[in-house]
Amino acid sequence: MISLYKTDDWNIVEEGFHPERQRESESIFSIGNGYMGQRANFEEHFSGDSLQGNYIAGVYYPDKTRVGWWKNGYPEYFAKVLNAPSWIGIDVSIDGNAIDLATSKISSFRRILNMKEGYLERSFRITVSGNKTIEINSRRFLSMAEPDLGIIRYIIKSVDFEGTLDYTVSIDGDVSNEDTNYGEKFWLEVSRELNESEGILVTRTLKTDFHVSTGMSFEFTKDNRKTGAKTDITAREKYIAATASLGIGKGEEIVLVKYVSVLSSLNRPKEYLVRDTKSRLTDARKKGFDNLYIEHVKEWSRIWAASDVVIEGDISAQQAIRFNIFHLNQTYTGKDERLNIGPKGFTGEKYGGSTYWDTEAFALPFFLKTADRSVGRNLLLYRYKHLEKSIANAEKLGFKNGAALYPMVTMNGEECHNEWEITFEEIHRNGAIAFAIYNYIRHTGDDEYMGDYGLEVLIGISRFWSQRTTYSENLKKFVILGVTGPNEYENNINNNWYTNSLAVWTLSYTLKNIHILEKFNPDKLSALFGKTKFNYDEETAKWQELIDNMHFPIDSTRNIFIQQDGYLDKELLPASSIPSAERPINQNWSWDRILRSCFIKQADVLQGLYLFEDQFDAETIKRNFDFYEPMTVHESSLSACVHSIVASRIGNIEKAYELYLRTARLDLDDYNNEVSEGLHITSMAGTWLAIVEGFGGMRILDDGKVFLNPLIPANWQSYSFLSQFRGILFEVKVTKDCLTISNLSDKVLILNVSGKEHQVKGSEKLILSLKIDFFY
């Protein structure tokens, strides 16, 4: 499909009106601020096809589950983030002719997502009755500085029209999700109040009883002077609206500013919601559009100053990476440990806005390098707070003694997924949560975290691995049977190399940290042992036995790791043998055919080689890459980025770049023909990783130093990225012939560039020639 959007370094620009592709643009132009977010639905009436989406982080509904064949152990519900009351409504009538963007005559349409300043703007002309033309310009943002606030500035300029404009400014709480399992509505009204310039609608969710207060306050100005208007009010169940009539002359301009505050019982007592919404609206109005906007932009400048990536010589890559960084920051700001990152963020309903392993495996590494350490810590605390529920989840499946199985999909710590091959078998997610603790500590140096929280989680997960493993008399080894690896195109397999590797790694890392704490903080350790009823001798001995005797499927002829037992018995064909009309296979082949084929949905063995690369030499990684990459169809958005990083790791920049391109503009160019459902937020972090860890070769070594080994794609003149490391912010710039590291902090940065150690003092630069040997 041809992309609608122009390339530009800081903006996404759509020119011309394309109502038939409105769903796609609604996803692309989504805005958010971590606290709430919304698709780019029109403010005005639009009778065309649209997916209405306005979401508040953490406000969800446990929809009754739908399943073909019930299995014991399945969860009762599927949590979904709710489409919340829509507050954007501004309907306009021109001399009594109500505009409908699907049918009215529209020209000069332009929509912009300004990523530098974080706003959505539309401008267009609209003509009714053949000769009454006005120009509309609307700018909308969700404040990054005061996250409960959303603001719309709506300007109408008359081109050749003299007469009356009627504005209906509304809040509509009668909303529903498209993906409800039984067509139900989830909101009830609590209260509504409205006068001529302000209104508040309070609604509550069924079952979860979240109360949400959505308030609006609006004012009109003409020639910079406030102007009154004759206003009628309409209020009915779950809906409030004020209709203001204003006269306009030829060439005149009327500015409407709609201030909105959204508060919920997640953050304050229900009985104060109305009171507080009123005072938030008063404050917002006092500050006014300009000041609120300045504060918002300041926050975005702060975000960009820590996370921007600059690419010279490839504007479409430049636009794409900023698009990804922008959406990641709109989705999660790390201020609230109860929140997390849904694979689609606030841009659609798919995946229910719930938490997947995507967070730990993809999003966390992005936030560790681009945000304050509290952001990564909150992502970890989210899981820590769910430990008890994970233990209960494991108990429900028959595990005991404090073994923890974190859910595959969750909102509040309880499992929501109900396909046995995933819910019960895709247990590698537990390993990603363990690995995240290691990743967080090596990036931040926050060693205290281990004793305070990390080790308790690791003990729960290690207990799970230890009980999930069986001893094979036949092999005289421990095996892990009946799993699904990251490659979901194979289920119920035995000894997935990746899963077995994670299990052994977790057990070793847990033991290592028990021994460290034993030495440095024995009191804390014994309190933890008491809390977890840890049987030191028995449990540590069993874990060591597992570590020493785990079975790993290996092919000694090809000298590669085997994805799982029996994989090599398949007919091994390259993905290039699949006719292009049959791709993606998940939309064209029966599930049965997919399961029997050798084709790999997403990085699996290579996901493991990415995480544990320091255990293997470059030759081993290369052999496995050369074997698995041709059979991988990359039908998960989380795949190509990992293969790209591994390709860079083995010095294959051409392949790394080719794979990078598959992820970089996934949504902007709608490769998978599904952007209408929402954006691939978590995979956006993977794209960023393909630049920083892939091309840049950045790692944090176990000795606590930053490692770099940069490569540069042939058609880029240069690229630069920013990174945090233990309180040091630095910039890495790579050109064809040199590498510049600028230390933007006042502390000394010690780094290892391709095997050689360097020091960069605070506020200083280090410039190195790129004619350096590969370290690997």
| Catalytic positions | 488
Binding test (CB under 6 A) with ligand BGC, winner from 166, 358, 414, 670: 358
Applying CB under 6 A, which part among 104-112, 308-316, 353-361, 662-670 lies near ligand BGC? Answer: 353-361
User: Between residues 641 and 708, which has the closer beta carbon with respect to ligand BGC?
Assistant: 641
Shortest Å distance, C-beta 414 to ligand BGC: 17
Nearer to ligand BGC, 359 or 444 (CB): 359
Return the residue of 34, 58, 343, 697 that touches ligand BGC, per CB under 6 A: 343
Nearer to ligand BGC, 134 or 638 (CB): 638
Task: Specify the stretch interacting with ligand BGC by CB under 6 A; choose among 72-80, 349-357, 432-440, 609-617.
Answer: 349-357
Report the C-alpha gap between 260 and 524 in whole angstroms: 48
Q: 595-634 burial by CB neighbour count: b if 16+ within 10 A, else e? A: eebbbbbbbbbbbbbbbebeeeeeebbbbbbebbbebbbb
Q: Tell me the two tokens of residue 700.
A: 């944090």
CA dihedral over 709, 368, 380, 37, signed as positive or negative: negative
Does residue 446 belong to the site contacting ligand BGC (CB under 6 A)?
no
* Look-up of token digits 């290892």: 752
Of 19-27, 189-197, 207-215, 352-360, the segment contacting ligand BGC by CB under 6 A is 352-360
Q: Which is nearer to ligand BGC, 264 or 683 (CB)?
A: 683
Pairing outcome for strands 31-32 and 149-158: unpaired
Task: State the minimum distance, in angstroms, from the CB of residue 682 to ligand BGC.
Answer: 6
Closest CA to 603 of 637, 557, 578: 637
Per the structure block, which two tokens stand in for 256? 């409407």
Please identify, among the stretches 356-364, 700-708, 725-733, 765-773, the one whose residues bind ligand BGC according to the rule CB under 6 A: 356-364
Shortest gap between Cβ of 130 and ligand BGC (angstroms)? 50
Which residue's CB is nearer to ligand BGC, number 150 or number 343? Answer: 343
Shortest reach from residue 421's CB to ligand BGC, in Å: 12
Cβ atoms within 10 Å of 447's Cβ, excluding its own: 15
Residue 384 CB, nearest approach to ligand BGC (Å): 21
Could you give the angle at which helices 522-532 and 455-468 cross, rounded to 10 degrees? 50
Comparing every residue's Cβ against ligand BGC, the nearest one is 343
By CB atoms closer than 10 A (0-12, 13-18, 19+), residue 586 is middle
Other C-beta atoms closer than 10 Å to the C-beta of 448 total 12
Question: Tokens standing for 511?
Answer: 């033991």
| Site map (CB under 6 A) of ligand BGC, residues 460-489, x = contact | --------------------------x-x-
Report the residue from 30, 340, 444, 636 that binds ligand BGC according to the rule CB under 6 A.
Answer: 636
Q: Which is nearer to ligand BGC, 307 or 602 (CB)?
A: 602
Residue from 688, 634, 678 nearest 659 by CA: 634
**Binding ligand BGC by CB under 6 A: which of 186, 259, 293, 356?**
356
Q: Decide: 12 and 113 in contact? Cβ < 8 Å.
A: yes
Residue nearer to ligand BGC on the CB measure, 587 or 763: 587
- The least distance separating ligand BGC from the CB of residue 644, rounded to whole angstroms, comes to 17
Task: Give the list of residues 6+ apart from residue 340 with CB closer than 8 angstroms, or none.
Answer: 332, 355, 359, 379, 382
Smallest Cα–Cα separation from 426: which of 547, 601, 559? 601
Taking Cα atoms as reference points, which of 595, 608, 607, 601 lies closest to residue 575? 601
Q: Is 394 exposed, middle or buried (0-12, 13-18, 19+ CB in 10 A)?
A: buried
Q: Which of 40, 514, 638, 732 is the binder for ligand BGC (CB under 6 A)?
A: 638
Q: Which is nearer to ligand BGC, 140 or 643 (CB)?
A: 643
Strand bridging mode 187-194 / 230-236: unpaired
With CA atoms as reference, report the closest residue to 607 among 570, 573, 636: 636
CB of 37 to ligand BGC, least distance (A): 17
Q: Which of 61, 119, 357, 449 binds ligand BGC (CB under 6 A)?
A: 357
- Residue 602 touching ligand BGC (CB under 6 A): yes
Residue for token pair 């109040």: 193
Q: Give dist(CA 436, CA 441) in Å, integer.
A: 9
Residue closer to ligand BGC, measured from CB, 190 or 595? 595
Residue closer to ligand BGC, measured from CB, 356 or 453: 356
User: β-strands 749-753, 706-708: how paired?
Assistant: parallel
CA distance 312 to 310: 7
How distant, in Å, are the alpha carbons of 233, 603, 731 from that of 720? 54, 27, 7
Pairwise CA distance, residues 576 & 596, whole Å: 17
Phi, psi of 116 (to 5 degrees): -70, -40
Contact between 362 and 685 under an 8 Å Cβ cutoff? The reply is yes
Q: How many CA atoms lie within 13 A of 227 on its CB side?
A: 18
Can you tell me the distance from the alpha carbon of 443 to that of 283, in angstroms, rounded to the nearest whole number? 39
Cα 437 to Cα 364: distance, rounded to the nearest angstrom: 10
Torsions phi, psi of 309, nearest 5? -125, 130
Using the contact rule CB under 6 A, the part of the chain among 46-54, 174-182, 350-358, 625-633 near ligand BGC is 350-358
Which residue, 602 or 724, has its beta carbon nearer to ligand BGC?
A: 602
CA-closest candidate to residue 404, choices 382, 377, 434, 448: 434
Radius of gyration of the chain (CA): 27
Confirm if 186 and 172 have CB atoms less than 8 A apart: no
Q: Least CB distance from residue 357 to ligand BGC, whole Å?
A: 6
Distance CA 233, CA 684 (A): 44
For residue 60, the minimal CB distance to ligand BGC (Å) is 17
Residue closer to ligand BGC, measured from CB, 27 or 636: 636
The number of residues in the chain equals: 776
Q: Does 331 bind ligand BGC (CB under 6 A)?
A: no
| Shortest reach from residue 591's CB to ligand BGC, in Å | 14
Phi/psi of residue 751, nearest 5 degrees = -135, 160
483 has which bridge partners? 493
Q: Among residues 114 and 607, whose Cβ is nearest to ligand BGC?
A: 607
Give the interface segment with ligand BGC, choosing from 54-62, 141-149, 354-362, 515-523 (CB under 6 A).
354-362
Question: Which of 119, 351, 657, 730 is the binder for ligand BGC (CB under 6 A)?
Answer: 351
Binding mask 674-693 for ligand BGC (x = CB under 6 A): --------x-----------
Residues near ligand BGC (CB under 6 A): 343, 351, 356-358, 486, 488, 602, 636, 638, 682
